[in-house]
Structure 1
Amino acid sequence: MNDISKKNMLWNAFGNIVYLGLQWVVTVMVTRISGYNDAGVLSLAMSISATFQTIALFGIRSYQVSDVNGKFSDSEYVSFRIVSCLSAMLICMIFSVLNGYSVYQIVSILLFMLFRLAENFSDVLHGIAQNNERLDIAGKAFTIKGTVTSVMFFAGYLCFDSLNAGLMFMALASWGTTLLYDAAQIKKLTDIRLCPIDSVLPMAAVTAPLCAYMFLNSAISTVPKYILEKMCDSESLGAYSSIFAPALLITAAAGYIYNPFAGKFAELYSKRDSKGFISLATRLCTVIAVIAAVILICAYFAGEFALKLIFGEKIAEYVYLLVPILFCTFATTYFAFFGMLETVVRDFRNLIIGSAAGTLICCCFTPLAIEHFGINGASFGMISGGAVGTIYLSAALIIRLRKTEKIEVDM
C-alpha cells in the first residue's frame, strides 16, 4: 500500500469516526436534555430507518468497489441509487403507518429516514471515489457533514423544543452537504448522467441477493430493539439505545479497517490466490479481535465511570447492559466482515442462507431472552444471530476457496 492510499484510508477513517461520533453526541444530548422518552423515540426512528435503508443501499457498495471488470458504469450505479432511495422512502412510510405508531413517531421515523437517504446517496458517490483511489473525499465529506448536521440538529431541537424540528434541520443539512460537496467532488472524477430505468433494472436483478442479505443483516441489529420496545416500553429502549450508541463506533471502526480491502480481496480471488486471500482475512480478523479485547478490558475497568460521566448518575442502574452490548457488536462485526467476503467471491446463495439463519435464530430467541433476562435479552438475541451467521458464512467461504484451489490445480 503506497503513501497516498494510506493517507486516503486515514482520511476515510477519521471522517467516518467524526461523523458517527457526532451522531452519538446527538443521542447523548437528547438523553441528557429530555430523558429517555425522546431518546426512545429517536432510537425507534433510527432502528426502523436502518432496516429500510437496506433497500436504498441495495447491497451495491461491496459489489461496486469489487466490480473489477466494469460490468456497470458509474452513471448506472448513481441512477439506480436514486430509484432505490425513492423506493425505500415509500416502503418505510407504508410500514410506519400500518404498524400503528403515533403521528409524532411516524414523523420522526420519516424525517430520520430522509436523513439516512442523504447518507445512502453519498455512499454510491463514495464508491466511485474509492474506485478512483480518492477515499479522502469520503473522509472529508463525512467530517463536514457530521459537523454541519449536528449543529443544525441542535439549532432546531433547542430553538423549537422539538425532536422533529431537530431531525428536519439535520436532514436538510445532510442533503445540502451531499449535493454541494460530495456530488461536486465526484463530478471532477467522472461524468455522471442519469440513465433510463430500463437500463438499470439488470443491476437490480444482479444485486437483489445483496439487498436481501443487507436487510437480514440489519434485522439482526434492529429486530431485537423493535421487540424490546413492544415488550417493554420506550424508556427501556431509550436507556438501552443510549448505551448501545457508543458501541456502534466499534462496528464502524472495524468496518473502516476491512472495507477498504474489498478491492484487494477481489483481486486475490480473481487470481485464484486462495492462500493470499485467507492470509489477509486472518490478519484482519486478528486485528478486530485485538481491538475487541482492548475495548473489553477498558469497559471492565472504566465502563461504569465513563457511562456516568457521559449520561449522568441516572444511567447507573443500566450499567449492567454494557458488556453484553459489546459482545453483540463484536458478533455482528464479524458477521458483516464475512458477509463482505462472500460478496467478493460472489457466493450469493450461501450469503442469503447464512443471513436468513442468523435472522431466524435472532427473531426466535430474542423474545424468550427478554422474557428471562430483561433488557439484556435484546443483546443476547443479537449475539445468537450474529454468531450463527458468522459460523455459516465462514464455513461457506472456506469451502468456496478450496473449490477454487482445486479448479486451479486441475487446470
Structure 2
Amino acid sequence: MSEASAHHSKEGGAPKQLSVKANMLWNSAGSMTYLACQWLTTIVVVRLSSGAFDNAGLLSLAMSVVGIFGTFANYKMGTYQISDIKRENTLGEYMGFRCLTLAGSFVACMVYAWFTCAAYALATVALFYAFKAVGLLIDILHGEDQVNRRMDYIGKSFMLQGVSTLAAFAVVYGLTQNLNLAIVAMLVAVTLVMVLFDVPHCRRFTRVTVNLSAKKAAFFLRTSLPAVVASVAASAIFTVPKQYLAMVSGDAALGIYASVAAPALVIQMGAQYLYGPLLDIFPRMFFEGDIKGFLALLRKTVLGIIGVTAACAIVLEFIGAWALELLFGECIAPYVFLLQPIILSTAATAFLWFFGDLLITLRRFWANFAGNVMAFVSVIPLTFACVNVWDMNGVSFAGAGACLLGVLVLLGFLVHTVQRGPDRLARRSATEGARDADGSVEVEV
C-alpha cells in the first residue's frame, strides 16, 4: 500500500477528486490573483515611497538577480513530479531535492550578487531569495495536490499568498519606508500560508517529510539536467533579438517593443493555465496504453491554445490601442502595429513550452532538450535577418520562427514516441528512479 493511500484524512478517506474543468478554473483564478498581487507590489513600492525611486529600483534589482537563478532552483522538477503517476519517488524526496537545489542556487546567487551589485543590495537580494524559496517549497506541495486532482487547494493557496504578501508589504513599508523589513513581512506571510494552509491540506494525501539519499539526489540531477538546460535555452530565445535591437536601434526601440508586448503575455499565461492541469493526465493515458484518449486530449489542448490565441488577437485588435494608451500614454499609439506579430510570437512560445513539457511527462528529456536548443540556435541567424529588415517587428518574427522550428523538432519526437508506445526508456527510468533510502535522513514537517 502506498503512502498516499495509507494516510487518510480526518474524514476517513482521501478527499474527492475534482473535474478537469474545476481544476482549471481554480488554478487559473489563483494564479491570476497571485500574479496581479505581485505586480501591485511593484506599484506599491513606488506609491508609498517618499518622493524617491531608490527602493523601487532596489526591489527590481533583487527580483532580476533572484530570477536569474530561479531556473536552477526549480530544476524543472514541477513537471517531473506531477507526471510521476507511478509514485516512483516520495513527496519527501521531492522536498529534499528542492531544498538541495535551493541551497546551491542561493550560494550561486549571492556570489553573483557580490560581484555585480552594490554592498547595500546584498541583504535585499538574500531576503528576496528567501521569500521566493518558500514559494518554491510550496510548489512541491502543490504538485502533490495536482496529482490527487485537488487544484482548488492550489488556487486558494495562491490567493492567500498573493493577498497576504501584498498586504504585509504595503503595511510594513508604509509604516517604516524600509524595503528589507517589508520583504521580511512578505516572507513571514508566505511562510504562514505554507504552514497553516498548504502543509495541512497536503497531509490529507501523504506524509509531509524531507527525505533525500545521495543516490536519489544524483538521479534527479542527472535525469532533469537536459530539461534545465532546455529551459534556460527557451528563456533566452527572445533575449538575443531584443539585445540586437537595442544595439542597432537604441534602448528606446527596445523599451517601446517591451511596452507593446506586455498585454500579449496573457496568451502565454492562458496557455499554461489550460495545459498545466493536464500534465498528469497525459502520461497516465499514455503509460496505461490509452493512445486514442491521449491523442484526443492532445488535439483538444492544441485547439484550446489556438482558440486562446485567436480570442486574444481579436480582442487586442479592437482594444489594443486603447489599452496601450491607458497603460503607457498617447506616445505609444504609433506603435500599435507591433501588437499582432507579438501575438504570433507569443503563441509560438506557448506551443514550444507545451510540447516540451509534454515530452518531459513522457520521460523524453533529451527530446525536450533537442527542440529547445534548436530553437535557441536558430534564433541567432534569424535575428540578423529579421531585425535588419523589419526593425522592431523583426524581434517577433525571429522569435516566432525559432520557436516554430523548435516545435517541429518536438513534434517529430512526440510522433516517434507515440508510435513506439510506452517504451523501454520509461521502464529503465522507473528502475533507476526506484526508491533508495540508503544514507538518507528523513524529517517530518
Shorter-chain TM-score: what band? 0.7 to 0.9
Q: Aligned equivalents of 1:97 and 1:230: distance in 2? A: 28
Pick the aligned partner of 2:310 from 277, 286, 293: 293
Q: Which residue of 2 aligns with 1:93?
A: 110
Q: Which residue of 1 aligns with 2:434?
A: none
Q: Aligned equivalents of 1:29 and 1:299: distance in 2? A: 27
Change (3 A) 1:240 1:406: closer
Q: Deviations over 1:250-282 (max 9, x none)?
A: 212211211211222112211333333222111
Q: Aligned equivalents of 1:378 and 1:29: distance in 2? A: 32
Q: Which residue of 1 aligns with 2:319?
A: 302
* Residue 354 in structure 1 maps to residue 371 in structure 2: yes
Matched-pair contact (CA < 8 Å) for 1:31–1:39 = yes
Q: Deviations over 1:140-179 (max 9, x none)?
A: 0001111122333444665666777765654554344334
Pick the aligned partner of 1:260 from 277, 280, 291: 277
Change (3 A) 1:399 1:48: farther
Pick the aligned partner of 2:75 from 49, 52, 58: 58
Q: Aligned equivalents of 1:38 and 1:80: distance in 2? A: 34
Q: Aligned equivalents of 2:259 and 2:45: distance in 1? A: 9
Matched-pair contact (CA < 8 Å) for 1:43–1:238 = no
Q: Aligned equivalents of 2:325 and 2:41: distance in 1? A: 17
Matched-pair contact (CA < 8 Å) for 2:18–2:149 = no
Residue 126 of structure 1, CA deviation: 0.3
Q: Deviations over 1:220-253 (max 9, x none)?
A: 3556566777888877666655554443332122
* Residue 74 in structure 1 maps to residue 74 in structure 2: no
* Residue 15 in structure 1 maps to residue 30 in structure 2: yes
Change (3 A) 1:238 1:130: same
Pick the aligned partner of 1:125 from 141, 163, 172: 141
Count of matched residue pairs: 406
Q: Deviations over 1:388-410 (max 9, x none)?
A: 22121012111221233999xxx
Change (3 A) 1:297 1:149: same
Q: CA RMSD for the aligned pairs?
A: 3.8
Q: Aligned equivalents of 2:273 and 2:383: distance in 1? A: 29
Q: Aligned equivalents of 1:40 and 1:374: distance in 2? A: 29
TM-score, normalised via structure 2 length: 0.77
Q: Aligned equivalents of 1:163 and 1:360: distance in 2? A: 40
Q: Aligned equivalents of 2:360 and 2:307: distance in 1? A: 25
Change (3 A) 1:340 1:191: same
Q: Which residue of 2 aligns with 1:147?
A: 163
Paired amino acid for 1:291: V
Q: Which residue of 1 aligns with 2:417?
A: 400
Q: Aligned equivalents of 2:249 and 2:59: distance in 1? A: 16
| Percentage of identical aligned residues | 31
Q: Any unmatched runs of 5+ in structure 1? A: none
Q: How does 1:158-177 map to 2 (within 5 A)?
A: 169-177=185-193
Counterpart of 2:110 in 1: which secondary structure?
helix
Pick the aligned partner of 2:150 from 131, 134, 148: 134
Q: Which residue of 1 aligns with 2:214?
A: 198
Q: Which residue of 1 aligns with 2:439?
A: none
Counterpart of 1:346 in 2: which secondary structure?
coil
Change (3 A) 1:187 1:64: same
Paired amino acid for 2:214: D
Pick the aligned partner of 2:198 from 169, 182, 185: 182
Matched-pair contact (CA < 8 Å) for 1:36–1:235 = no
Q: Aligned equivalents of 1:179 and 1:60: distance in 2? A: 22
Q: Aligned equivalents of 1:36 and 1:240: distance in 2? A: 23
Q: Deviations over 1:288-325 (max 9, x none)?
A: 11111111111111111112223444544654543333
Matched-pair contact (CA < 8 Å) for 1:40–1:234 = no
TM-score, normalised via structure 1 length: 0.82
Change (3 A) 1:151 1:233: farther
Matched-pair contact (CA < 8 Å) for 1:331–1:387 = yes
Q: Aligned equivalents of 1:368 and 1:387: distance in 2? A: 16
Counterpart of 2:86 in 1: which secondary structure?
coil
Higher helix fraction (1 or 2): 1
Structure having the higher Rg? 2
Change (3 A) 1:115 1:394: farther
Paired amino acid for 1:21: A
Paired amino acid for 1:135: M
Q: How does 1:370-385 map to 2 (within 5 A)?
A: 376-385=393-402
Pick the aligned partner of 2:359 from 338, 342, 346: 342
Q: Aligned equivalents of 2:29 and 2:375: distance in 1? A: 31
